């Protein structure tokens, strides 16, 4: 079973002892409510490293909607059970310890982070990049694993690592989907059975429409609230709301 650590000073001692053994560390940052997609990241980290560290931290600074933060599923006991022996360490820090300076210091990317997700969730990527940098500093991994479902997040993290000369590898991992095509997401659990049955139309329309405006119009006509659909560099990215639940996805063109 994985060892759970809550206090950062305890984690620092554990990290030092891993360092003394000269072992490689793979890191999977999450906000919990784990699903098979997270487990696939852990499996890959397990194959490629001596030690695997998972973090579970519902990061308040990346939620621009307080209701969304409040409703975000918190399922720690179930998460720990699911992880089993796929991780050696589970870091579960408290917001007060992660943000002793109350977010006065932050990482801001001033270009790509303002488009797509950033345009609809102002400040979101400041919160993401800041917490990822804090976590990378705490965990000091050799490799960190990020899902391609959050493609813009993945690209911004890769950009930050390069810009700030961080010494680690960011490993992109493919999106896992249910058999009906819906990308696995912690938010799917908030859909009613009826909403869950309609949701797979989202990736199907993204994939099947001849262009982004047609995809957006078709989604709208089927009752999805569309935040954006855009084609960029051979990928179609979209974000929609259904039953007040925000889903994002991307498909290759």
> What is the CA angle 60-65-69, rounded to 5?
45
Binder to ligand PAF among 80, 86, 98, 131 (CB under 6 A)? 131
Residues 62-91 close enough to bind ligand PAF by CB under 6 A: 62
Q: Which residues pair with 89 in a beta bridge?
A: 3, 53
Query: Contact, 202 vs 223, CB < 8 A?
Result: no
Q: Which residue is catalytic, options 38, 89, 142, 165?
A: 38
Nearest Cα to 166, choosing from 135, 205, 189, 192?
A: 135
Considering the complex, what minimum distance in angstroms separates the CB of residue 150 from ligand PAF? Answer: 5
126 lies in the binding site for ligand PAF (CB under 6 A): no
> For this structure, is 89 an active site residue?
no
Question: Coil, strand or helix: which one is 121?
Answer: coil
Nearer to ligand PAF, 42 or 131 (CB): 131
128 lies in the binding site for ligand PAF (CB under 6 A): yes
How many residues line the site for ligand PAF (CB under 6 A)? 10
Stretch touching ligand PAF by CB under 6 A, among 127-135, 192-200, 229-237, 240-248: 127-135
150 lies in the binding site for ligand PAF (CB under 6 A): yes
| 235 contacts: CB under 8 Å, gap ≥ 6 | 151, 250, 251, 252, 253
DSSP state of 165: T
Considering the complex, what minimum distance in angstroms separates the CB of residue 130 from ligand PAF? Answer: 9
What token pair was written down for 86?
Answer: 């796929």
Stretch touching ligand PAF by CB under 6 A, among 108-116, 128-136, 137-145, 158-166: 128-136
Rounded to the nearest 10 degrees, the angle between the axes of helix 201-208 and helix 212-221 is: 150
Binder to ligand PAF among 40, 59, 218, 250 (CB under 6 A)? 59
Considering the complex, what minimum distance in angstroms separates the CB of residue 131 from ligand PAF? Answer: 5
132 lies in the binding site for ligand PAF (CB under 6 A): yes
Considering the complex, what minimum distance in angstroms separates the CB of residue 149 from ligand PAF? Answer: 9
CB count, 10 Å around CB of 144? Answer: 24
CB count, 10 Å around CB of 107? Answer: 19
Categorise residue 102: left if φ over 0, alpha if ψ from -120 to 50, beta otherwise. Answer: left
Nearest Cα to 147, choosing from 53, 30, 63?
A: 30
Nearer to ligand PAF, 62 or 218 (CB): 62
Residues 17-36 close enough to bind ligand PAF by CB under 6 A: 29-31
Nearer to ligand PAF, 128 or 245 (CB): 128
Q: Any idea which residues carry the catalytic annotation?
A: 38
Residues in contact with ligand PAF by the rule CB under 6 A: 29-31, 59, 62, 128, 131-132, 150, 153
């Amino acid at each position: 079973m994985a060892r759970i650590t809550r206090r950062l000073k305890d984690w620092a001692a554990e990290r030092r002892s891993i360092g003394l053994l000269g072992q490689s560390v793979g890191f999977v940052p999450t906000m919990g409510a784990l699903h098979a997609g997270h487990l696939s990241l852990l499996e890959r980290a397990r194959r490629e490293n001596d030690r695997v560290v998972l973090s579970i931290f519902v990061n308040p600074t990346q939620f621009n909607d307080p209701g969304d933060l409040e409703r975000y599923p918190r399922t720690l006991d179930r998460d720990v059970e699911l992880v089993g022996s796929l991780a050696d360490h589970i870091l579960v820090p408290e917001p007060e310890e992660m943000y002793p300076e109350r977010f006065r210091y932050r990482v801001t990317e001033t270009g790509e982070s303002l488009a797509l997700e950033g345009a609809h969730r102002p400040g979101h990527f400041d919160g993401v990049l800041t917490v990822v940098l804090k976590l990378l500093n705490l965990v000091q991994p050799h490799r960190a694993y990020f899902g391609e479902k959050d493609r813009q997040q993945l690209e911004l993290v890769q950009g930050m690592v390069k810009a700030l000369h961080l010494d680690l590898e960011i490993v992109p991992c493919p999106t896992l989907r249910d058999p009906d095509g819906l990308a696995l997401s912690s938010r799917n659990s908030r859909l009613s059975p009826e909403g869950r049955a309609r949701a797979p139309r989202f990736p199907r329309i993204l994939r099947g429409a001849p262009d982004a405006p047609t995809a957006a119009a078709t989604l709208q006509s089927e009752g999805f609230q569309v935040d954006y659909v855009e084609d960029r560099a051979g990928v179609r990215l979209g974000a929609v709301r259904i039953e007040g639940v925000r889903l994002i996805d991307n498909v290759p063109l």
